[in-house]
């Protein structure tokens, strides 16, 4: 879809900012990825959410249990059960101290 600039969804604006930073060879922060993941969740963009998680892994950013939980809820809302199970397995493989109590 093409959106006029003033009516673009927040997830699309966030993605454009990250692409611009990538193109300018500027660094990303974990907070940037966390924010994009939140916007994907809010706007039901599960495919992009999974790409964000993959990019976080590639950059060795820690993914906390809250972000994994966002993904699980997002995949469940979209009936992506197999992907949800894969994400759950990934969460347990990469869990940090915050995820242990789940």
**19-73: per-residue pLDDT in tens?**
777 777 777 788 888 888 888 888 898 998 998 888 888 888 888 888 999 999 9
Flag whether pLDDT at 100 surpasses 80: no
pLDDT value, residue 25:
75
What one-character DSSP code corresponds to residue 9? -
Distance CA 96, CA 7 (A): 38
pTM of model > 0.85 = no
The percent helix, strand, coil of the chain (3-state, each to 5) is 70, 0, 30
Q: What is the pLDDT of residue 56?
A: 86
What pLDDT was estimated at residue 71? Answer: 93
């Amino acid at each position: 879809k093409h959106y006029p600039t003033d009516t673009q969804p927040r997830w699309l604006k966030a993605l454009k900012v990250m692409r611009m930073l990538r193109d300018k060879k500027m660094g990303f922060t974990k907070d940037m990825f966390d924010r994009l993941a939140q916007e994907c969740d809010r706007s039901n963009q599960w495919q992009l959410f999974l790409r964000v998680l993959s990019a976080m892994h590639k950059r060795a950013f820690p993914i906390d249990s809250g972000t994994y939980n966002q993904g699980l809820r997002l995949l469940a809302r979209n009936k992506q059960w197999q992907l949800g199970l894969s994400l759950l397995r990934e969460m347990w493989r990469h869990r940090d101290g915050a995820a242990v109590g789940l």
